[in-house]
Amino acid sequence: MQKYIITGIGTEVGKTVVSAIVSEALRANYWKPVQAGDLDFSDSMKVDAWTDNVNILEERYRLKTPMSPHAAADIDGISIASHDFQVPDVNPLVIEGAGGLMVPLNQTGLTYLDVFQKWNLPVILVSRHYLGSINHTLMSVDALKQRGIEIKGIIFVGDEHPTTESIILKSTGLPMIIRIPMTDEVNKDFVMEQAKRPEFLYSL
């Protein structure tokens, strides 16, 4: 069984690009349970446009406002419940979260971390170098480990930062799956090229 959750240490770290690349590498089904805002060019639509061998599954919630899911759902008059998140019975499968682990999904405090614990699937953590990223990465790893959630490894996005990456890997004991370079424009050529890298053959 190849089912992975892809989450990030925060917003704008490259989760969707990584999800597209991993999905293409595995020729997987892709599912983003909650899309908040950008419905005209959603993350599911982006992954579909950037890949050739990925089956896009319909989102469970499509919210109109680009905000935290709990707030966007409130505006739309929708109540998000934990029992609504049933993992699709398909394989292989890549699931993309939204924001970071502690993003609230409803007004009762349900977070993606709660949902991931319920699913009991391995997580791939996406990290990007910026001031504070070490702290955010280590906190994310600690939160996952405290819930007993398996972490497959870390994917770094952007230029190599040896001191940052080495202390993260040393502190967590996790492997680096791959580093995805930054690009001025994400397109199908970029995603397809990255998906063919041999690291995916023995890391996933």
d(C-alpha 156, C-alpha 154), whole Å = 6
Q: Which residues pair with 61 in a beta bridge?
A: 34
Question: What is the 3-state secondary structure of 52-97?
Answer: CCCEECCCCEEECCCCCHHHHHHHHCCCCCHHHCCCCCCCCEEEEC
d(C-alpha 146, C-alpha 148), whole Å = 5
Residue pointed to by tokens 């240490």: 9
Cβ–Cβ < 8 Å for 121, 91: no
- Catalytic choice (32, 152, 188, 196): 32
SS3 128: strand
32 given a catalytic annotation: yes
Position 110, amino acid: L
Q: Token pair of 138, please?
A: 């280590």
Positions annotated as catalytic residues are 32
